Amino acid sequence: MKFKVLSSERALKDLNKLSKIDRKRIYEELEKLEEPFKLDIKKLKDNIYRVRVGRLFRIIIEIDFENQIVWVAKIDKRERIYDRL
């Protein structure tokens, strides 16, 4: 089952702050979000999940199963991502 992937402005701003190498790694994971359950994801609460990108980065996503949409909410380093969920 394929999902449509949408990104928030916040996620795009977070992505633009990263180095070129890190951005490339994140983009590769974002492309795989059409099938999110094949990735290293973990449920945080309700429909909010985190996607692990290596040891350093995490992507916070919200999954709308009814409309088959994955909403990319936030991208940041592991130590900061969970501060304001």
* Segment 61-80, tens digit of pLDDT: 999 999 999 999 999 999 98
pLDDT < 50 positions in the chain: none
Q: Quick one: CA dihedral 84, 20, 38, 70, positive or negative?
A: positive
The per-residue pLDDT for 37 is: 87
Phi and psi for 49 in degrees, rounded to 5?
-130, 160
Q: How far apart are CA 84 and CA 35, in angstroms?
A: 26
The per-residue pLDDT for 84 is: 72
